[in-house]
Structure 1
Amino acid sequence: MNDSAWPDVSKKGRNTLKSIHSTRALLLCCSIAALTVPTFAHADAADAAAAEASADAGTPSVPDIVVTATRDSRSFKDVPLSVDVVSGEKLQKFNLFDAKDISKLAPGLELTNTSGRNNTTTLRGIAFDPDSGTAPSVQVYFNEAPSDAQLVYTALYDLQAIEVLRGPQGLFRGLTSPAGAITIATRKPSFSDTDGYVQGTATDRDGYNLQGGISIPLSDKFAVRVAGLLDGNRGNGVTNVTRNERSRSRTESGRITLGWRPSSNFTAYATYQFLHADNIQNQQVFGPGAIPATVAPFVVGSAPIAPGFSVPIAILLPSGSTVRSGPPAEVSDYLAVSTGQNRFKNTFHYMNLNLDWDLGPVTASVIAAHQFALLDSVRDLDSGNAVVEPIGTSTVRVPNYLTSFEARVRSNNTEGLTYSAGAFYSKRTGTVFDTETNNSYAAAAPLSAGLFLPIHTEVSVPVFTETLSFNAGAGYKSGPFSVEAGVRYTHIKAIQTTDITASSPGGQVLVPVGGGANLIFPVAPFTQSIVGVPPELSQTVGKPITGGATISYQITPELTTYVAYGHSFRLGSTGVATPVGISADLIQTKPEKTDSFEVGLKGSALDRRVSFAISAYYQKIDNYLARFDGIYYNCPDTNGVCGAAGSAPINNATQAPDAAFSFNANGKATIKGVELTLDARPTNDWDIGINAAYNKARYDNARLPCNDFAGTGVPNQTGPAKITGTGNTSYCISNGRLADAPDFSLTASSEIRFPLGKVTPFLSALYTYRPSVFSTKVNFAYQARNLLDLHLGVRSEDRNWEARIFAKNVLNEKKITNISLGNALTGPYDSGYRTVNVTNPREFGATISHKF
């Protein structure tokens, strides 16, 4: 069955399909149960070597896990939090070169990039859109300093570990976040040995990845590590048939880390990383396509051509036109049809300093970082090619300067009273420039006919966010019992302003006068300046108090239980370049507050052949902040100019919407769930790991902006664009999902080894299951996804070299992962296509690696 047919099946048929998919998923899960490697809980290289040694001695056991979720090194079972750990070795083992693939190892985590311009992160069903203008729901840290997902996710190489911390973060790190945090740690140089690796991969879909790193001890006090990456692939695998151009991605990056250890109680690491990425990501579409309207003349409507003055705009197409927006396209065709290019260039400079000084009773730490990033993007605004001629492009330049500094002390004792204190400061600046050349009043006729009025828009958005926080914590440990609590006071100041300039060189418009006759009116050039954010809404200040507390008890040496509470905060957002005349609640949102309660059990059994962690939680969010794209609006207007002096009231009953825009909005929400990790090593040469998460994240009678053309109270784009109610936009009451993510998700992986003296052949597998889910936001039922990767190879007895072949997406599933609500529209024109993102097709490849 095609993805396009899925939403139209009957309820009975849909349930039957769901049953089939569930059965298929169960069979796949069971079939690879004998092939599972511990998905998260991985130790560092020394611990892994020790575990291998114990296995060789005939006592197989799951390696112990050392994590830094609480800003100190602890065994996984002693951390009173839900946390997933993926080692750098694991990333290399499964060729996880793209950060979005981390979700294959963490159920409930989704990392997506639907447009090529921004990365979105969803965890525990809580989503985040970078365009919302507030802090992310999942904060990312690179070597313990805050960074942007857009930058850090671009290249993964030479990493020590990635930790996924689940639940509200409001104490241990400088920035608060409601859903969790992801920490990425690079490998540090060795002061004693020269070591490193080199790895090369090639695939049948023009993919290549060459990476490596080497540590050189200059003395017992100085060391250096150098690492680099060269990566290329077809990106989303989409071909633009209009431009005869494939999507492609190319990334080059280099990193150098200097280590200084003048004594056994002092270490310092300084890191610099450079990255350049150049991506062409065509926007995929599917559907029959369309022939543009053939009525002549066809009145588009009135448009402002100068302050306080507007004229009707008309287009003229020859009758019987056969020009199409593009060919019919199935989901499996991976086709794009836009006339213009979608290209994204990212340059990243990152500097980081980490100092640790053991003073005996306490350890003092300093973390300082500075990053400069520049994202240049060009996008075609007519993704469905509804108007055959080039009609509009958006050129965006996003410079990002982020500086952060943290100083903290923590006590070194492990029994009795413990304490910590710290201060954190960060500042983000940069002015975003968006230039749009938009012939949105153009006819779908040759531009040589002169039937258009081009509008050139320049938007300047200065960004300033400053955060200062102080935190303190205390704990007490006595034998099997421990309690910890902490609080953080934060002062956040954000300033967001917008300057908009719209201009036109002039032109001519057609006004129909009946009988097929038209009058041509010349339009003089004009320039108009607009303030995009009202001055009284340009500054936002927050002074939250956040933190948390945990109680844990070691029932036995191998079994620990805990209870945790966390409170987090996100500053409200200010929409930039919002339509003039829109109400304040659509420009500036309220701050978001989060409370979470969690209970968990961690331990091991059968002489540590099995380790497990299970947690259950309940979370409540007041004023959950989300972004709603493509929402049609009306505003008070006079002669087509929104917000002009003497504007008439809104009359949604008779007025057609002015246009569509993306708005931020608040709504109450609750999240509850259960998460499970199970790792086992039944024999020396068989590893098993299964991880599952159930996260039910729902709005709680939230009143949210929506498109409700039919007036049914639910999101739809049925019929002509219309706004119901008396507000600037339509509103729908929602108890639906916070994100288009299923409640349940599962990951499993495995490895079976066949030692043959000097070499060890192996077979490994990585499987992820995502059930079907219906999205009320886009009125579409996403099909279940079963993604299976297989690796067959051989490695040396000492694990110094390895060669393998692999297949990704063995089942060749081509499933929609993101889809638009209705067809892509440009003005009054329907392209006949819906825009989609689809899983990449099956890919074969080979990898060779060598450690030294």
Structure 2
Amino acid sequence: MSRNFLTFLSSGVAISVLASIAPAYAQDDSAQAPQGAAAEPVYEEIIVTATRSSRSLQDVPMSVNAVTGAQLQKLNILDTKDISRLAPGLELTNTTGRNNTIALRGIGFDPDQGTDPTVQVYLNEAPANAQTVFTALYDIGQIEVLRGPQGLLRGLSSPGGSITVTTQRPKFDEVEGYMQGTVTDRHAYNVQGGVTLPFNDKVSLRVAALVDGNRGNQVRNASNGDFSRGNTQSARLTLGLRPTENFTAYLTYQYLQSDIRQYQQVFGEGNSFGGVATGPGDISIRDRLAVGEGLNRFKNTSHFVNLNMDWDLGFANLTGVASYQASDLVQERDSDPANSFPGLALQQRNTIPYRVPVFELRLASKNDGMFGWGLGAFYQKTKGTTRVNQDTAQFLAPVNGFYLPINSRITVPVDQETWSFNANGRVRSGGFTLEGGLRYTIIKGVRTTDIVSTSPGFFPIIPAFTQVQDGIPADLRNQKDTPLTGGATLTYEFSPALTGYLAYGHSFRAGSVGVAVPVGISNDLIATRGEKTDNFEAGLKGSLFNRRLNFAVSAFYQTFDGFLNRFAGVYYNCPNFAPGVCGTGPGSTPINNGTDVPAADGTFDFNYNGDATVKGIEATIDARPTDFWDLSVNMSYVKARYKSSARLPCNDFNGDGRPDMDGDAAITGTGNVSFCGLSRLTDTPNFSMTATTELRLPVEGSVEPFVRGLLSYRPGVYSETRSFQYRSRTLIDLFAGVRGNDGQWELTGFVKNVLNQQRITDFTGTPRISFTGSPSVTSGYAPINTTLPREFGLIATFRW
């Protein structure tokens, strides 16, 4: 790892040296141009909206990765998760087929933790649920990855950054569109397209649609022979209105329907329970097998309405965003993916309605003159009642059929409201630009949970029972936060080809209240406090050789006061109402240093705060060495660590203060869970790199052959919480094809994961089951996720 760091550091130094001579090269380019004429730049200027206004990427005082719709089509990026292949330090994962997770700069987030994300996703400038946005990727205008805390310019504060997705908008002066079809040898297909129909110079319509089918993680279930599979259909209508030269509006409606059945991959030697085998024996990573006997099915039906308007008032611009997302998620999960109990399917069935209206107004001066200003107001309300039906079984001894069946019905009404008001200003003089502002936010939330547990009992040992519980203590139900966030940037333009900046950002995330947390545990495991973060960043952006080489280098240091994280699969103990049922009813006993019977009641995913620091450097190089060759390299080195004083929930069976799962499950210390000192915030390596290239072959005639390549490298990393060493992975995708010289059509063949590397990307660990007065047992299988195997495919694209 030190070698990677030194290599990256030397690259950054080299780029900085080149940057220092940019003014000279800029003068040389101008000198070589004919008198009175400017040299034609090789690269077109990249325009981004990271600062809520259209500005050159070189002038934006933050680290930004911009991916255009054309790039997504060229590299066959059909899954939003694959955008991480183009942005080092960004990890987009989906381990179960439903929970899209984002980590950026080593700062991660689990969508099940019930907090605002560390990286906020926006669709057409409105906050949107990542589960919906990441499900269908088509007819995209541009995707921007904004790095660092966002607490001023957009409505919701986020400590890691933001991802903004902008769909294609209709033009008012021409009919244009595209069709693209993809098929692969892994039973996958994707057909998408979009067309603009201008009625006149004032009204235009964009119609786009997608049909997608695949086998997901390419896993086969050994118990029934079925494969994972999924299908998605989506359609989008965008109406463009331009009644006057000073007013433009875009009204978008998107419908999405997806149905995903994804089996959980496992590996291991297997075991038996009650004399029945848990699976077919030894399973390797390359077998791509599942052994769970239950169903994993996730259905998403979503409607998304979005309105963007821009009104030029002369002295200022008034912009507005209004959106409404209505999603219904119906999810069924196998709670025993390792088949610890053969013949018994333990299912969890969830219905999650998601109703979110958003409104925002911004009034800002024109981006010219010495002084500038902006004012804004934002509103969002989240409503919906989540219902969970969970089947569990508490085995009294390692004998098949000797168990207590338990059913829990959990009702979670969600009611959260966010208001925010912001003001910012700008002054520009002598090449310097100073910008800054503040956002005042009011966050109100009411959290309640009703839990009803029932069981027919186990005659004659345990009688039938029904237990009704309030899942959240009364004093923790109402939440209100009023954070003040914002930031400031100082930019200096050394020359038209070189810009430097200094930036400060402050963001906030409201604390959480656990949903369906086991009753009887301490409040610190139920509720978390709010998280605060401060980030300091310095960067340099420029170009050389008449923009044949563009570069960006940034360094940052970030501190967290109470970073909010989720700790999955932590064993807990609590007073028992009945075996395996926590509570305070008849028969409960006080916790006694983890010696309650059994010694561990089960596992749960807990949220917890821990102070942390994040520091690193990032660099991007885009080059066109010749007119026929493009090359882009992105590198990131980030060290995201907890402070030594942080004590966090963990599994520490042997009591040495470090995470482990050796032997029977046990709780260390006097609390309901064990606590350890941990290092990494997420299981992401310090260094990562991506590179893309395209070589066009100049030939006579009406066609142009080309080859493309996409490489991403991720070193190995050790997971403390999982006690597992992840191996390094180098993923290479290759493309070769021909296209018309006019760019109207393109035929491309590709190979993804050329090296066919099979690497574990997520390791849960082998489940361990405890019994009353008996040794624990395991299924012998560990649930995992792995990289997808080598895939061959063909893409046909037609544009007009």
TM-score exceeds 0.5: yes
CA distance, structure 1, for counterparts of residue 97 and residue 769 of structure 2 = 20
Q: Quickly say closer, same or farther: Cα 1:87–1:524, change in 2 above 3 A.
A: same
Write the mapping of 1:601-616 to structure 2, written as runs, cut at 5 A. Answer: 601-616=540-555
The residue aligned with 2:379 is 425
Match of 1:800 among 740, 744, 747: 744
SS at match of 2:472: coil
Structure 2 vs 1, CA of residues 203 and 478 (structure 1 numbering), >3 Å: closer, same or farther?
A: same
Shift of residue 323, structure 1, vs aligned partner = 3.1
1:296-695 mapped onto 2 (5 Å cutoff): 317=274, 321=275, 323-441=277-395, 451-504=402-455, 506=456, 508-509=458-459, 521=460, 524-637=463-576, 642-644=582-584, 648-652=589-593, 654-655=595-596, 656-695=599-638
Compared with structure 1, are the counterparts of its residues 718 and 152 closer, same or farther at alpha carbon in structure 2 (3 Å cutoff)?
same
CA drift at 1:832: 0.1
Q: Deviations over 1:468-519 (max 9, x none)?
A: 0000000011241110011000000122111011112x2544xxxxxxxxxx
Preserved contact between residue 470 and residue 488 of structure 1 (Cα < 8 Å): yes
656-665 or 804-813, which deviates more: 656-665
Partner of 2:23: none
SS of match in other structure, 2:272: coil
The answer on 1:130 being equivalent to 2:74 is: no
Structure 2 counterpart of 1:269, from 230, 236, 250: 250
Partners of 1:458 and 1:180 in 2: CA distance: 36
Matched, 1:848 2:757: no
SS in 2 for 1:102: helix
Using the size of structure 2 for normalisation, the TM-score is 0.92
Instruction: Check the 8 A contact 1:140/1:148 in 2, yes or no.
Output: yes
Q: CA deviation at 1:556?
A: 1.1
Q: Kindly state the Cα deviation for residue 452 of structure 1 after the two structures are TM-superposed.
A: 3.9
Distance 1:429 1:147, change over 3 A: same
For residues 229-277 of structure 1, the C-alpha deviation after alignment (integer angstroms, 9 at most, x for no partner) is 0011110011111121101111100000001101111001100000011
Aligned equivalents of 1:344, 1:324: Cα separation in 2: 25
In structure 1, distance between residues paired with 2:256 and 2:395: 40
Whether contact under 8 Å (2:196, 2:206) holds in the other structure is yes
Report if the CA contact (8 A) 2:278-2:291 is conserved.
Answer: no
3-state SS of paired residue (1:103) = helix
Mapped to 1, the partners of 2:440 and 2:703 lie a distance apart of 56
Partner of 1:306: none
* Cα distance in 2, alignment partners of residues 437 and 631 from structure 1: 19
Inter-partner Cα distance in structure 1 for 2:384 and 2:171: 37
Return the offset for 1:825.
4.6
Aligned residue for 1:44? none
Query: What's the CA shift for 1:202?
Result: 0.3
User: How far, CA to CA, are the matches of 1:125 and 1:419 in structure 2?
Assistant: 34
Query: What secondary structure, in the 3-state scheme, does the structure 1 residue paired with 2:647 have?
Result: strand
Provide the residue aligned with 2:215 in structure 1: 234
CA contact (8 A) 2:177 2:195 kept: yes
| Structure 2: distance between partners of 1:325 and 1:349 | 41
Counterpart of 1:775, as a letter, is S
Q: Runs of 5+ in structure 2 lacking a partner?
A: 12-37
- The AA in structure 2 aligned to 1:356 is D
**Structure 1 residue 453 displacement after superposition:** 3.2
The Cα shift of 1:790 comes to: 0.4
In structure 2, distance between residues paired with 1:527 and 1:648: 18
> 1:728 aligns to what SS in structure 2?
coil
Structure 1: stretches of 5+ with no match in the other structure:
1-14, 30-56, 293-316, 510-520
Aligned equivalents of 2:577, 2:177: Cα separation in 1: 69
Q: Which has the higher contact order (CA 8 A, sep 6+)?
A: 1
- Structure 1 residues 444 and 803: CA distance shift in structure 2, 3 A: farther
User: 1:662: Cα distance to partner?
Assistant: 1.2
1:817 aligned residue: 761
Secondary structure, counterpart of 1:209 in structure 2: strand
Q: Which residue of the partner structure matches residue 8 of structure 1?
A: none
- 1:784 and 2:725 equivalent? no
Where 1:575 maps in the other structure, the secondary structure is coil
- 1:636 deviates by 3.7
The TM-score normalised by the length of structure 1 is 0.87
- Once the 2 structures are TM-superposed, how far is the Cα of residue 377 of structure 1 from its aligned partner? 1.0
For the pair 1:764 / 2:708, whether they are aligned, the reply is yes
Letter of the 1:349 counterpart: H
**TM-aligned CA deviation for residue 663 of structure 1:** 0.8
Match of residue 17 from structure 2: none
Q: Deviations over 1:359-405 (max 9, x none)?
A: 11100011000001111111111111111112411001111011100
**In structure 2, do the counterparts of structure 1 residues 547 and 246 end up closer, same or farther at CA, with 3 Å as the change threshold?**
same
Structure 1 distance, partners of 2:396, 2:347, is: 13
CA distance in 1, matches of 2:493, 2:384: 49
Alpha-carbon distance in 1 for matches of 2:544, 2:119: 33
- Alignment partner, residue 33 of structure 1: none
Q: 1:245 to 1:825 in 2, by over 3 A?
A: farther
Amino acid at match of 1:667: G
Report the equivalent of 1:198: 179
Contact 2:370 2:427 in 1 (8 A): yes
Alpha-carbon distance change, 274 to 256 in structure 1, aligned in 2, over 3 angstroms? same
What amino acid is the match of 2:190?
A: N
Q: Over aligned residue pairs, what C-alpha RMSD do you find?
A: 2.0
Deviations 1:330-382 (A, max 9, x none): 01111100011111111110000011000111000110000011111111111
Q: What is the count of residue pairs matched by the alignment?
A: 761
Residues 283 and 835 of structure 1 are in contact (CA less than 8 Å); yes or no, is this contact kept in structure 2?
yes
SS in 2 for 1:454: strand
**Residue pair 1:226, 1:256 contacting (<8 A) in 2 also:** yes
The match for 1:278 is: 259
Q: Classify the secondary structure of the residue corresponding to 1:439.
A: strand
- Partner AA of 2:443 in structure 1: I
Percent identity, please.
51
> Among residues 208, 219, 226, which one is paired with 2:189 in the alignment?
208
Classify 1:380/1:652 alpha carbon distance in 2 versus 1 (closer, same or farther; 3 Å). Answer: same
Cα shift at 1:437? 2.2
